[in-house]
């Protein structure tokens, strides 16, 4: 499935990213309102600008809430597995512990969460 728009944006988060030369850039996470795709299937669009390709993406779930939760987990996975996060160059609200306030899946990224002192 290819999506063309986020639609109505319901959530945003801005992260700060330090570059190798010491300047700061923004990583912006935007989540669109979940939408019905088919009977018992919904999708939730999102985009992460400033990390990776910045393309529109989505998560699919059984209903709107499920799609939203899966989108948040996908976002957390993409962000925490990025080179910028692994190099501890991302911060949120100036938090020096590098807790970006995004969910992670403990069985796959528990070691990252433990290393960054995140609640899983």
CA–CA dist 36, 16 (Å, integer): 33
Q: According to the model, what pLDDT value does residue 114 have?
A: 53
CA–CA dist 117, 108 (Å, integer): 15
The residue ranges of every structural domain in the chain are: 9-115
CB 105 within 8 A of CB 98: no
Q: According to the model, what pLDDT value does residue 111 have?
A: 52
- Give first-to-last CA distance, the chain, whole Å: 31
Query: What is this structure's pTM?
Result: 0.84
CA–CA dist 81, 73 (Å, integer): 12
**pLDDT mean by block of 10 residues, the chain; 120 residues:** 94 94 94 93 96 92 95 93 92 87 69 49
């Amino acid at each position: 499935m290819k999506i063309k728009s986020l639609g109505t944006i319901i959530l945003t988060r801005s992260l700060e990213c330090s570059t190798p030369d010491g300047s700061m850039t923004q990583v912006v996470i935007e989540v669109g309102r979940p939408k019905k795709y088919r009977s018992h299937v919904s999708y939730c669009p999102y985009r992460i600008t400033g990390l990776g390709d910045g393309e529109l993406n989505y998560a699919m779930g059984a209903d709107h809430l499920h799609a939203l939760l899966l989108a948040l987990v996908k976002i957390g996975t993409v962000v925490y597995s990025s080179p910028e996060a692994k190099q501890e160059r991302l911060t949120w609200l100036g938090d020096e512990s590098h807790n970006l306030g995004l969910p992670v899946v403990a069985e796959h990224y528990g070691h990252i969460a433990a290393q960054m002192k995140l609640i899983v």
